[in-house]
Amino acid sequence: MAPNPRVAKAFRAMREIGIPEEKTKPVLKDLLKTYEKNWELIEAENYRALADAIFDSEEAEALEQKKKQEIAEAEALEQKKKLELAERMKVLEEETQIPEEPERPLKRLRLRHQDSPSCTTSNPNSNTTPLKKPKLEIDDIPYAIPRLRSQGRNKGKQPVSDMTESDVLTETGSESGISVRHLRNKGKEPILSQEKRVVSDRVSSHGVRFKEPKVKQSPVFLVKPKDEPVTDDTSAPAVVPLAVIRPEPLTNGDSSTENGPVKPITPVNDKSTSIIDIATSSSGEVKISLTCNSSENPIKDMDSILKTIEDKCLQSVKLIDPNISLKKLMTDICDSLLDNNNPVNESQPEESVADVANSHHDIAKGQEPVIISLVNEVNSESPPSFHYIPQNAVFQNAYVNFSLARISDDNCCATCLSDCFLTSSATSAGGCACACAVQSGGEFAYTKEGLVKEELLDECIKMNRNPQKHCLFYCKECPLERSKSEGIVEACKGHSVRSFIKECWLKCGCAKMCGNRVVQRGIQRKLQVFMTPGGKGWGLRTLEDLPKGAFVCEYVGEVLTNAELYDRVQKSSNKDEHAYPVNLDADWGAESELKDEEALCLDATYYGNVARFINHRCWDSTLVEIPVEVENPDHHYYHLAFFTTRKVKALEELTWDYGIDFDDETHPVKAFRCRCGSRFCRNNKRPNSNYSLALYLIVD
């Protein structure tokens, strides 16, 4: 039968934008049903509804697929863990078997016979487990800087002071061909001559400083694996080294657990005595053993004991689940113990991504598209207290106006369809018809894979590394200085002129999955907040390999005017609290006169996202921040997005260069002592700086 001409036409229209018939067919079918065969609706605007529906369904499918994959991965991991545990228990079981007892596979609870002699001995001096060395940041930069080490004393102002950018970067070519919307510097001259200005050589691109976190360096003392095993086998020699944790209420003797020596378990002669031992070995086994006096009541088989306890639980504790299983409970205890102890044992194999991903916290509390776990393998510091928000929130006076009416026609691509990447190249051979791309100099900032294009990325990296070489803007009357003083306003210290990425948004004709929408889709990578080993406090790392130019996250916080921020700091009894502000000054040069409510910053102290954990690294940081215009054409408000500066391996720390000049003695706020570990550290000439532990405040 000849196909309905309208159907054929719809297929043709979709083919033209690269959608094959088999994808169109089911969606068209659904759409016809939804629209009750009203073809006009489907055909309107060159089949826009159909194209949108196809892209939406693709997106939903991809999401579904991703979810399934995540679930499958989680299940596989869980399964693997269970199998490993069962295997370990089996080995343990065999090694600690009482000869007379019939063999019972995978026994998790064992009773020690009343006349067992002491079954453990321990080395009283070896009570702590050395902490596992957390993975250090990998110094794996693709830049060759052969001359740097032989340079004279580098004051840190310019990390490779007498080297040109091209000496340092292995890249070729000149400045980016992509002209992502540059700032409209209207040629304003600074009010002071360069010589008179108190300008640090390295001007913070954000004009802010962060406080030093209160890092408790006390190690977690975990019970060290004992030299000899806990075993209820009177004859067998010690085989599996186990550490014993004795819960205090159940022991009469020494209750030392974490820090004190682990004493041998006393032979059980007292009828009333019962002891629960939880033991771990250096290779990860967990054993829970129960010691009781059973002289008058010979021990029956394990299953009947478990059954008795389960019944007792049901009756006396009134647990409502009749399927309660003590075996499962014991397994869970072992699992938890393994979870807690796993990362701290040096003799264990190096942590794997699967291990570290297996954390139960989601610091984003389900508000991000992915789970963001938190681990501390270094000390006992608890997770910091703050409100997690996935998007910026205006505090009070900041002028951030999102009205659609303010988006002009040349500020959106109203005529685009579905995916601007597809439609733009389809409609104009070679050139780019998308108005958003036109705004960015005729090219999209992203590749089809969603990565920032190399030229643009390299340009942003260069600019961040050496703002002096690029354009700096000096305000006539700097809002930062104005917020600090009611009297004489100090001269502007300069602001970096930044390149912007312009993303499509609501008023654009494209669909949500358009390739020119990356930052607005939120975090897509597996990230983890972790305690850094080098005294920088918490940090952020990736759990997956990342390509160069990948979007990681944006800096989210409260949107404050600089005046509000200054006020906050002044009023705060604990000024150190205000440690996470970033200036949104990338386009101040374009405004003829910036009003106070337009001079904005982001403060992630109380409300923020994962970015508040990103530590500073001089020069060769793994991330670079790029201003991104999404919903607001006014560049005094924008999104500050982090992209990778190079390939980043799973478990590497994600860092960015705060742009601090550690030598700037005139700065009202002294910087923290930098522990970035970079060979280009601008602060490394003063390792014993007096103010190393002081906490510092904002305000440029």
Ligand X SMILES: C[S@@+](CC[C@H](N)C(=O)[O-])C[C@H]1O[C@@H](n2cnc3c(N)ncnc32)[C@H](O)[C@@H]1O
Task: Give contact residues for ligand X (rule: CB under 6 A).
Answer: 210-213, 384, 536-539, 579-580, 612-613, 615-617, 672, 674-676
Q: How far is the CB of 697 from ligand X (least distance, A)?
A: 9
Determine the Cα–Cα distance for residues 138 and 648; give it in Å rounded to an integer: 9
User: Which contiguous run of DSSP H or E holds residue 641?
Assistant: strand 639-644
Decide: 44 and 31 in contact? Cβ < 8 Å.
no
| CA separation, residue 515 to residues 64, 137, 626 (Å) | 19, 32, 17
**Phi, psi of 265, deg, nearest 5:** -75, 135
Closest to ligand X by CB, 212 vs 277, is: 212
Q: How far is the CB of 219 from ligand X (least distance, A)?
A: 17
Closest to ligand X by CB, 228 vs 603, is: 603
Closest to ligand X by CB, 482 vs 616, is: 616
Of the candidates 199, 205, 194, 215, the one whose C-alpha atom is nearest the C-alpha of residue 621 is: 205
Q: Is 436 helix (H, G, I), strand (E, B) or coil?
A: helix
Q: Name the residue whose CB lies closest to ligand X.
A: 537
Q: How far is the CB of 631 from ligand X (least distance, A)?
A: 25
Closest to ligand X by CB, 473 vs 672, is: 672
Decide: 199 and 569 in contact? Cβ < 8 Å.
no
Closest to ligand X by CB, 538 vs 566, is: 538
Closest to ligand X by CB, 210 vs 588, is: 210
Q: How far is the CB of 604 from ligand X (least distance, A)?
A: 7
Q: How far is the CB of 31 from ligand X (least distance, A)?
A: 48
Decide: 134 and 378 in contact? Cβ < 8 Å.
yes
Buried b / exposed e across 454-471, counting CB within 10 Å, b at 16+? ebbbbbbbbbbbbbeebb
Q: How far is the CB of 615 from ligand X (least distance, A)?
A: 4
Parallel/antiparallel/unpaired status of strands 387-388 and 373-375: unpaired
Q: Return the DSSP state at 507.
A: T
Residue indicated by tokens 């400083």: 209
Centroid of chain to Cα 647: 16
Q: How far is the CB of 379 from ligand X (least distance, A)?
A: 12
Closest to ligand X by CB, 148 vs 531, is: 531
DSSP bridge partners of 387: 607
Decide: 310 and 316 in contact? Cβ < 8 Å.
no
Structure tokens at 192: 């002071």
Q: How far is the CB of 557 from ligand X (least distance, A)?
A: 10
Q: How far is the CB of 159 from ligand X (least distance, A)?
A: 14
Centroid of chain to Cα 393: 20
Closest to ligand X by CB, 416 vs 674, is: 674
User: Which contiguous run of DSSP H or E holds residue 76?
Assistant: helix 39-95
Q: How far is the CB of 585 from ligand X (least distance, A)?
A: 18
Closest to ligand X by CB, 32 vs 584, is: 584
Structure tokens at 599: 């001079």
Closest to ligand X by CB, 211 vs 462, is: 211
Q: How far is the CB of 648 from ligand X (least distance, A)?
A: 17
| CA separation, residue 512 to residues 60, 263, 503 (Å) | 11, 63, 11
Determine the Cα–Cα distance for residues 586 and 496; give it in Å rounded to an integer: 6
Q: How far is the CB of 497 from ligand X (least distance, A)?
A: 24
Closest to ligand X by CB, 183 vs 697, is: 697
Closest to ligand X by CB, 113 vs 211, is: 211
Determine the Cα–Cα distance for residues 195 and 208; give it in Å rounded to an integer: 23
Determine the Cα–Cα distance for residues 439 and 513; give it in Å rounded to an integer: 20
Residue indicated by tokens 């060979």: 679
Q: Return the DSSP state at 191.
A: S
Closest to ligand X by CB, 561 vs 684, is: 684
Q: How far is the CB of 369 from ligand X (least distance, A)?
A: 23
Determine the Cα–Cα distance for residues 472 and 490; give it in Å rounded to an integer: 17
Determine the Cα–Cα distance for residues 388 and 55; give it in Å rounded to an integer: 31
Residue indicated by tokens 């979870």: 339
Of the candidates 336, 341, 379, the one whose C-alpha atom is nearest the C-alpha of residue 360 is: 336
